[in-house]
Structure 1
Amino acid sequence: MSQRLSVDEQMCGTKMSKTNIKQYMPKKPHKWGFKIFSICDTKGFSYSFELFTGAADNVREEGMPDLGAASNIVVCLSRNIPDFSNHIVYFDNYFTSLGLLVYLGSRGIYSLGTFRANRVKNCKLSTDEQLVVKKAPRGYSEEFVVTAFGVDISTVVWKDSKPVRLASTYAGVQPFKSNNPSDRNTLSRRYNRNRKQYEYVSCPNIVKEYNRHMGGVDLMDSLIGRYKIRMKTGKWPSRIFHHVIDLAIVNAYVLYHRINREKHQRVELPRFREEIAETLLLISETKKLGRPTTAEKQAEEVPKGSKLLYLPPPNIRYDCLNHWPNFCDKSSKRQCRNKPCKSETQVYCEKCNIPLCMSVKKSCFKEFHAE
């Protein structure tokens, strides 16, 4: 798992009325739908998710503490995170509680999140009214650090257009103060409505950490929303099933670019989905009636009684990844699929599932995968 993970909610949009788990959230782009809690890394890869089925849904596994309905979601989603491996989890004020920070800290997992003032008892940070009385300027901040059960927790309030409160077990205010306007690493660019111009204000390190690493679930949700399955259905399990398929495709898309990062091979998401559909169609072994499709024309004729094999797409054939030769029995010899060769061979590619010659005299295996 990646070091930095974020927990947030997303909506699986639908307007069907034959289910009780549908939610209405007016601030979301899709106001009606199923609420899903997900844990992702900063690139949008989803490791796990939980479907929200109602306010009474507060199921806990054996040995897990009861920290409240919202915090229990983070506890449940973080059960697969390795302990004491320096992972960091980010979440917003819906989930944050001091009990959650202490629990994650006891497992060696760092955390950072915004919190609501009424969820922290005897909080020493200034309230909104006190900040108004102090006439705190934009960029003003306060910090208090406390140790609870051996876990150091830093609470910070920062005055932006509105006061923002954050709590963390690994980050604090420092370093952020700078008198040099050119030092943009410690400042934030904000628009001043009175002066009608942009200006730079002091920004704590904890705020920059939160803004830099919190958007993993939103990135994943935006990738799903651009090109999703638009099949209308009146059954809510089918709608969730389509959403899970879209989620699996986005995960595969993120992994593909992570693997090919050094090769600088960029494939857009719609083309990536088309290649998945083409590959799934090619592996079908049922023979259709009527005129052959383009994919079927690419398949060469094979002897009667042998299994129908289709050539893999170029993106898989020439990716130079995990194409390993293997051997079958002599009774299972098949004709080589490399065009110049028509000999029978025992060697086949494990990834492409294509028989290819590989001997001292012939190198069809290498020629087939060479672009």
Structure 2
Amino acid sequence: MCDAELKRTGRGSFDQKTAMVGDTTLHAVKWYDNRSVSLLSDYIGAHPVTDVDRWDGKQKKVIRVPCPAVVREYNKNMGGVDLLDSLIALYRTKIRSKKWYHRLMFHFIDMTTVTAWLLYKRDCSSTGMSKEEQIRLYTFKSYIGESLCKSGKNLEHKRGRPSSTIAGEYKEKRKRGPATPIPVPDVRLDATAHWMVIDEKKGRCKVPGCKGTPKAKCQKCDIYLCFTSTSNCFLRFHTE
């Protein structure tokens, strides 16, 4: 039955078809609640049908709606797959393309990113880190996206000596109050296309502890940095 026909029949209506594949019976059930839901199962079908409570917006009260057995079992046992799908849907990579494999590829990228974030959350919990200190999914994906977009890919020589001096001092600075974000370390230390430009206006130097207001800024990082005979914050910011 099409969605319009199920809707005319009323909330709680369903349609069921069965098929034999080898020795297995497949049950295809389409149920209409607020919208149509389709399920396929080799374990259970629509019967026995039970009633569930649903809020009716027109009547302004809770009503009883018929619910197929397969829907009841799904709601009872839903878990990790549904959590993964809901997290992917929050910040899905949107791409308009007629090529089906583009959608498939970006879905796998989203799935891998969300799985990595869940593993990160598990690791943080095991080490005793509070939820307030943990990176949110949106920030986690933003860091990855910024690194993929800006970090040097074809760099032949080695990168500068890795250090967390600037990142550590900046983190302490953020604890004292709001601060303009700086690029992630993969971008800041990639030694690729960090050109110095002179702006018309002055801005506060982003190196923690420096109170200079230079006109010089990094074109790639889009932040102001001192570059004088006594203070080379530009070099320090991109190497420490």
TM-score, normalised relative to structure 1: 0.27
Q: Which has the higher contact order (CA 8 A, sep 6+)?
A: 1
Higher helix share: 2
